[in-house]
A and B are shown apart, each in its own frame.
Chain A
Amino acid sequence: MKHFEITSQAIDPDAFRKQLLDPACGAYVQFDGWVRNHNEGQSVLRLEYEVYEPLAVKEGQSIIDEAIERFGVTNACGVHRSGLLELSDVAVVVGVSSPHRDAAFAACRYIIDETKARLPIWKKEYYENGQAEWVNCKHCGHREHG
């Protein structure tokens, strides 16, 4: 198994894990990302992910393929939510199975880090004070491209 998907439905981490079961693998590493109730000193009530799905799926699949190639793991999958999420909802899950644990840990870390940096996914946080903000933009500075 090696695929990446975007879903607007709730993610079931246990069902996700089962698709990566493999008798050739002695190690399984899974990362679950949850919706947190605070960020940058603000109380977060809920959040919304906007996803440009055609490219997010394509780029996510590239990351999965890179991880398999680079770390030699047997199976790797990822799933990321779109739409409105409540506190403690599962936002993202990455799972890797491999004969041994070192490669599984490294590949899982690689996939979640690259997912955050490269996929066209944006997070809008809704705060207790009634405001809402796209995360990151306020910290990026205004330097020119190129």
Chain B
Amino acid sequence: MKNIKVRYFAAYREETGVGFETITTGANSPAELFAECATKHEGLQSYSAALVAINDEMSDWNAALSEGDEVLFFPPVAGG
């Protein structure tokens, strides 16, 4: 099990009602972690255009997670 910091932004923050939480998890990737968070927070939706970052670097949904990582869940972006 790993301790992972999770941050939610924009629609995700509103859907979960929290901006930040620490989760003890067996998830091996951001994709697995998101699925776990979605079971915890009813209303947290998976979007095909969502993006993920680990420790302030854009990442892949199948990247490896390490103890103490901070995972940022970005709902579909809409700049410009």
Residues of A within 8 A of B (CB): 33, 49-50, 52, 54-56, 58-59, 80, 91-92, 112, 115-124, 134-137, 140-146
Contacts and interface: CB of A to CB of B under 8 A. Distances in A.
B61 A120 contact: no
A121 B56 CA distance: 14
B77 A120 contact: yes
If over half of B's interface residues share one DSSP class (helix, strand or loop), that class is named, otherwise mixed; here it is loop
B59 to A, nearest CB: 11
Contact of B62 (A49, A121, A143, A146): A146
A141 B29 CA distance: 22
B53 to A, nearest CB: 6
B37 to A, nearest CB: 12
Nearest to A31: B80
B11 A122 contact: yes
A117 B45 CA distance: 20
